[in-house]
Amino acid sequence: MIVPAFSVSAGRRPYALYLLLSTISSKRFSTTSIAPPTSDDIADLILRSNSAVASHSIFQWASTLPSFHHTPTTQLALVRSLLHFRRFDEAKKFILANPPSDDLLVTLIRALGRANRSQDAIKVLEMVKPSTKPSLRILNSILDVLVEDNIDLARLFYRRKLASRGISGDAHTFGILMKGLCRANRIDEAFRLLKLAKWKGLGSNSVIYNTLIHALCKNGKVGRARSLLETMDNPSLVTFNIMISAYSAVPDLVKALVMVEKCFHLGYVPDIVTMTKVVDLMCYQGRVVEGVELLRRVCRKKDGNLIIDVVCYNTLIAGFCKIGKMKVGRRIMKEMELNGRVLPNSQTYHILITASCDLSDVDSAMDLFREMEMMGITPDFDTFDVLIREFCVCGRLEDGLRLLQAMNEQTACGSVSGGRNPERIEPYNSIIYGLFKSGRLNEAYGYLGRMKILFPRAVVRSFKVLGFCNKGRVLDAKIVYDEMLTQGDIPSILVYDCLVSSMCREDSFGYNGSNLIREAFDMMNAMISRGYQPVVSMFDALIDGICRDGDVRSGYELLVEMSDRGCLPNSNIYGSVIAGFLRKGEEEGDGSLILKACILLADMVSTNSLIPCSSTWEAFVLSLCSIQKTKVFVTFDSIIHSVENISN
Instruction: Show me where the domains of the chain are located.
Output: 553-648
Question: Tell me: the pLDDT tens digits for 384-396?
Answer: 999 999 999 888 9
- On the question of pLDDT at 634 being above 90, the answer is no
pTM of the model: 0.77
Please state the separation of Cα 143 from the chain's center in Å: 35
For the segment 262-273, the average pLDDT, to the nearest whole number, is 93
**What integer pLDDT is reported at residue 3 of this predicted model?**
36
Helix (H, G, I), strand (E, B) or coil at 147: helix
For the segment 71-78, the average pLDDT, to the nearest whole number, is 92
Q: Give the integer Cα–Cα distance in Å for 48 and 475.
A: 65
The CA R_g of the chain, rounded to the nearest whole Å, is: 37
**What integer pLDDT is reported at residue 216 of this predicted model?**
96
Span of 15-19, 86-90, 148-152, 430-434 with lowest mean pLDDT: 15-19
Span of 75-89, 110-124, 304-318 with lowest mean pLDDT: 304-318
**What integer pLDDT is reported at residue 506 of this predicted model?**
55
Helix ranges (H only) for 271-419 are 272-284, 288-301, 310-322, 326-339, 346-358, 362-374, 381-393, 397-412
For the segment 8-31, the average pLDDT, to the nearest whole number, is 42
List all residues 6 or more positions away from 553 whose beta carbon is below 8 Å from its beta carbon: none
Span of 122-136, 224-238, 246-260, 419-433 with lowest mean pLDDT: 419-433
Q: Give the integer Cα–Cα distance in Å for 646 and 648.
A: 5
- Specify the amino acid at residue 146: L
- On the question of pLDDT at 574 being above 90, the answer is no
Task: Compute how many other C-beta atoms are within 10 angstroms of the C-beta atom of residue 135.
Answer: 14
- On the question of pLDDT at 287 being above 90, the answer is yes
| Cα 481–Cα 534–Cα 486 angle in degrees, nearest 5 | 20
Which is more confidently placed, 32 or 130?
130
Buried b (16+ CB within 10 A) or exposed e, 143-153: bbbbbbbebeb
- On the question of pLDDT at 304 being above 50, the answer is yes
**pLDDT tier, 25 (very low <50, low <70, confident <90, very high otherwise):** very low
DSSP 533-565: PP-HHHHHHHHHHHHHTT-HHHHHHHHHHHHHT
Q: How many CA atoms lie within 13 A of 432 on its CB side?
A: 25
- On the question of pLDDT at 7 being above 50, the answer is no
Helix ranges (H only) for 115-221 are 118-123, 136-149, 151-157, 171-183, 187-199, 206-218
DSSP state of 495: H
- 567 to each of 248, 540, 564, how far by Cα in Å? 40, 11, 7
**Rounded to the nearest 5°, which phi and psi values hold at 150?**
-155, 115
- On the question of pLDDT at 65 being above 70, the answer is yes
**pLDDT tier, 627 (very low <50, low <70, confident <90, very high otherwise):** low
Please state the separation of Cα 481 from the chain's center in Å: 26
**pLDDT tier, 442 (very low <50, low <70, confident <90, very high otherwise):** very high
Mean pLDDT of the chain: 84
**What integer pLDDT is reported at residue 31 of this predicted model?**
47
**What integer pLDDT is reported at residue 282 of this predicted model?**
95
Span of 166-170, 224-228, 349-353, 514-518 with lowest mean pLDDT: 514-518
- On the question of pLDDT at 221 being above 50, the answer is yes
**pLDDT tier, 625 (very low <50, low <70, confident <90, very high otherwise):** low
**pLDDT tier, 176 (very low <50, low <70, confident <90, very high otherwise):** very high
- Specify the amino acid at residue 132: T
Helix (H, G, I), strand (E, B) or coil at 115: coil
Task: Compute how many other C-beta atoms are within 10 angstroms of the C-beta atom of residue 65.
Answer: 16
* CA atoms 256, 260, 261, 266: torsion sign: positive
Please tell me whether the peptide bond between 4 and the residue prior to it is cis, using omega within 30 degrees of 0.
Answer: no
- Helices 571-588 and 536-548 cross at an angle (nearest 10°) of 10
Span of 21-25, 41-45, 482-486, 595-599 with lowest mean pLDDT: 21-25
**What integer pLDDT is reported at residue 549 of this predicted model?**
80
**What integer pLDDT is reported at residue 628 of this predicted model?**
53
Helix (H, G, I), strand (E, B) or coil at 428: helix
**What integer pLDDT is reported at residue 595 of this predicted model?**
76
**What integer pLDDT is reported at residue 636 of this predicted model?**
54
- On the question of pLDDT at 362 being above 90, the answer is yes
For the segment 449-475, the average pLDDT, to the nearest whole number, is 92
Q: Give the integer Cα–Cα distance in Å for 38 and 34.
A: 12
Which is more confidently placed, 486 or 509?
486
**pLDDT tier, 302 (very low <50, low <70, confident <90, very high otherwise):** confident
**Rounded to the nearest 5°, which phi and psi values hold at 551?**
-100, 70
Q: Pick left, alpha or beta for residue 235 (phi over 0 → left; psi -120 to 50 → alpha; otherwise beta).
A: beta
**What integer pLDDT is reported at residue 414 of this predicted model?**
60
- On the question of pLDDT at 523 being above 70, the answer is yes
Q: Among candidates 627, 625, 628, which has minimal Cα distance to 585?
A: 627
Please state the separation of Cα 276 from the chain's center in Å: 16
Helix (H, G, I), strand (E, B) or coil at 67: coil
